[in-house]
């Protein structure tokens, strides 16, 4: 899609303000290996990162590699991750993913988005998180609820689905900014631009934000 010069200029302003106020933004999930990030990202669905970090502190001590997850009794893994919610499905996703990694990739995580999204339990958002945060590969922009909300409020996208919002962001921002852009938007969404009551009065983007869909716009 062709993007106007004005749209790219606005995206540049957004990028600079976010960079100024969140210069060190990074993934809030704790991990030390790509596998740990993969597992943590699966667990983060419908769960806070704080809760995931509490659970993975012990989980990562117990399960050291892909084979450990794949071969674990499902009931044991379910018990270990139960407090993250939806633990039956998350256990199936983790074990299915790890079994496939053993079968196809000798237990290694492929650095290719097409291969990643083909794994059980891995969607495009999770694949972008793994590639961008664990490997430094800009495969796209991670679109979670924060990024989706801010993209619409800032007028960066009018789309409703994560895939189309991601494409709009990829069209407007240079590829070198894709990874850190999502981290900064997520941090801004958590600290300032909340879902129910955004703190527009103390927002560093207020001067340029069109506040699309914000009630009162104050």
* Residues labelled catalytic: 125, 144
| Torsion-angle region of 214 (φ positive above 0: left; ψ -120 to 50: alpha; else: beta) | beta
Sign of CA dihedral 172, 168, 158, 43: negative
> 120, 94 in Cβ contact below 8 A?
no
> 165, 148 in Cβ contact below 8 A?
yes
- The burial class, CB within 10 Å (0-12 / 13-18 / 19+), for 1 is exposed
CB burial readout 132-143, b (16+ within 10 A) else e? bbbeebbbbbbb
């Amino acid at each position: 899609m062709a993007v106007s010069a004005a749209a790219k200029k606005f995206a540049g302003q957004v990028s600079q303000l976010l960079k100024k106020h969140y210069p060190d933004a990074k993934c809030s999930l704790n991990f030390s290996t790509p596998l740990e990030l993969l597992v943590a990202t699966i667990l983060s669905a419908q769960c806070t990162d704080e809760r995931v970090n509490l659970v993975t502190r012990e989980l990562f001590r117990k399960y050291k590699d892909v084979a450990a997850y794949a071969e674990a009794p499902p009931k044991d893994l379910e018990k270990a991750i139960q407090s993250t919610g939806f633990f039956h499905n998350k256990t199936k996703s983790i074990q299915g993913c790890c079994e496939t990694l053993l079968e196809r990739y000798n237990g290694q995580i492929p650095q290719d988005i097409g291969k990643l999204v083909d794994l059980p339990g891995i969607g495009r958002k999770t694949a972008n998180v793994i590639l961008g945060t664990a490997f430094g590969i800009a495969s796209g922009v991670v679109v979670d609820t924060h990024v989706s909300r801010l993209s619409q409020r800032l007028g960066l996208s009018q789309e409703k689905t994560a895939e189309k919002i991601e494409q709009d962001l990829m069209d407007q921002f240079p590829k070198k900014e894709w990874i850190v852009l999502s981290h900064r938007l997520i941090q801004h969404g958590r600290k300032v631009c909340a879902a129910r009551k955004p703190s527009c009065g103390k927002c560093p983007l207020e001067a340029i934000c069109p506040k699309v869909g914000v009630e009162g716009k104050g």
